[in-house]
Structure 1
Amino acid sequence: MEQDLERSEEKVELSESKIVELEEELRVVGNNLKSLEVSEEKANQREEEYKNQIKTLNTRLKEAEARAEFAERSVQKLQKEVDRLEDELVLEKEKYKDIGDDLDTAFVELILKE
């Protein structure tokens, strides 16, 4: 019986030491879990910040695209106006040349009449 008692006490000691080890392991796992929860919360906050940044950047992109389209339309209108003014200038130069030619002819005729 004493041997049984000794074996039982040894088993109890082994079991108690295993319990202590398991409790320590449980504390470590608990601490790791807390760290993971904190990391998850930080990651969630960063994710929200990134989503907000993406939303802001998308809005800015759409605004920039709208401004670019407006600028392109303005450039096209201005180019048409420049083309029209250039055509008008060519016509006015031709008129000026014709008037100059007419004056030259008139001067020649005046000189010949005298």
Structure 2
Amino acid sequence: MKGLDEKITGELVAGILNVIEEKVIRIVLYGSVARGTDTKESDVDVALLLTKSMDKDEEERLSEFIVDMNLKYDKVFSVIDIEYNIFCEWKAIIPFYRNMEKEGIILWEPEAAAKP
């Protein structure tokens, strides 16, 4: 990953989990940063695969955290949330989901879900 070092990744994951850990199944980096084709101007695309949608309070807290990350690192973090059951149902059909599955880098998932 050219544009995202371990310090930023760690802070990003910790901040997301601080807001919605009980709902997170997987945090995935996708797009140009995951492919290693990013430039200085590239945004950082992150998908949150969740057990269920965030409530309004969680959305606001996550948004505030992402804005802080944008300002701190002078990068644009584009974070989307997807319900995991919908992702699984449609990943073979929707090209965006298929590409995320193929090219994405898992930044975090629970220990029990991690593959050996």
What's the TM-score, normalizing by structure 1? 0.18
Is the radius of gyration larger for structure 1 or structure 2? 1
The structure carrying a bigger strand percent of its residues is 2
**Which protein, 1 or 2, shows the higher relative CO under an 8 Å CA cutoff with sep ≥ 6?**
2
What's the TM-score, normalizing by structure 2? 0.18
